[in-house]
């Protein structure tokens, strides 16, 4: 069964303290992986798409990387406004027109001023 696991479940950082979030997956055929940010009471907001091992994407203080078994979201010098739940989701090879993302449960990040 395809699975995606995120760790840690929750992370508290001091402002400026860099860290990484992990998303590990076991899937039969990975086409790619998404990272999303979700603020309380809001829908997930798209951040990055990664397609192949070795790929990296950056946006402001965030950098996402992908290996054959896992993806990391690196947060450099975080600010309080980076506090949110970060979700990863993979999309497998699937039948024509069928497109089903499987989400991890997320990492709740709190950045303390």
Partner 1 sequence: DSGVTQTPKHLITATGQRVTLRCSPRSGDLSVYWYQQSLDQGLQFLIQYYNGEERAKGNILERFSAQQFPDLHSELNLSSLELGDSALYFCASSFRTDNSPLHFGNGTRLTVT
Binding site for partner 1 (CB under 8 A): 31-32, 34, 36, 41-46, 49, 51, 87, 89, 91, 94, 97-106
As measured in angstroms, the least distance from the Cβ of 50 to partner 1 is: 10
CA–CA gap between residue 88 and residue 4 (Å, rounded): 8
Residue 48: C-alpha distances to residues 16, 66, 113 (Å): 22, 11, 26
As measured in angstroms, the least distance from the Cβ of 49 to partner 1 is: 6
**Cβ-contact 67, 50 below 8 angstroms:** no
Q: Is 10 or 112 the residue whose CB approaches partner 1 more closely? A: 10
DSSP H helical ranges for the chain: none
As measured in angstroms, the least distance from the Cβ of 48 to partner 1 is: 9
């Amino acid at each position: 069964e395809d699975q995606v696991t995120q760790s840690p479940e929750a992370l508290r950082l001091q402002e400026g303290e860099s860290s990484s979030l992990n998303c590990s997956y076991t899937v039969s055929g990975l086409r790619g992986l998404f990272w999303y940010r979700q603020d309380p009471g809001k829908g997930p907001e798209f951040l990055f798409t990664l397609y192949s091992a070795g790929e990296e994407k950056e946006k402001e203080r965030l950098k996402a990387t992908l290996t054959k078994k896992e993806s990391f979201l690196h947060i450099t010098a975080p600010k309080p406004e980076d506090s949110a739940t970060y979700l990863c989701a993979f999309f497998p090879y699937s039948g024509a027109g069928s497109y089903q993302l499987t989400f991890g449960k997320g990492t709740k990040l709190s950045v303390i001023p």
